[in-house]
Amino acid sequence: MINNIKDLKRKNTFDTNIHSIFYLSKYTIPHLKSGSTIINCTLINHYINRTNLLDYTLLKKAIVAFTQRLSNQ
């Protein structure tokens, strides 16, 4: 449940899963050649409805959305 997610745990999970991909992409893209590929990996867990993985599922879906939008740039 959302009330069971501690702020520090949520922040650490977000920092690890989102900020790392964001900054790695931000600082890598200027050095890539035209037509290069970036691959971000995630697990199938974000497709499975598990209430005990609410914060984790949110972040994995964010990675998928970020990667899809990034591919349009």
Active site residue 56: yes
Confirm if 66 and 41 have CB atoms less than 8 A apart.
no
- The one-character DSSP state at 19 is I
pLDDT on residue 37: 86
pLDDT on residue 23: 93
Return the residue matching tokens 């050095």.
31
pLDDT on residue 22: 92
The pair of three-digit structure tokens given for residue 56, joined into one six-digit string:
């984790």
pLDDT on residue 71: 84
Active-site residue, selected from the candidate residues 23, 27, 47, 56: 56
pLDDT on residue 42: 78
Overall domain count for the chain: 1
Output the tens digit of pLDDT for each of the chain's 73 residues.
677 778 887 788 888 888 889 999 999 999 989 888 888 887 776 566 666 677 777 888 888 899 889 888 7
Rg (CA), the chain: 14
Range of the domain at 39: 2-70
**HSE on the CB side for 64, CA within 13 Å?**
12
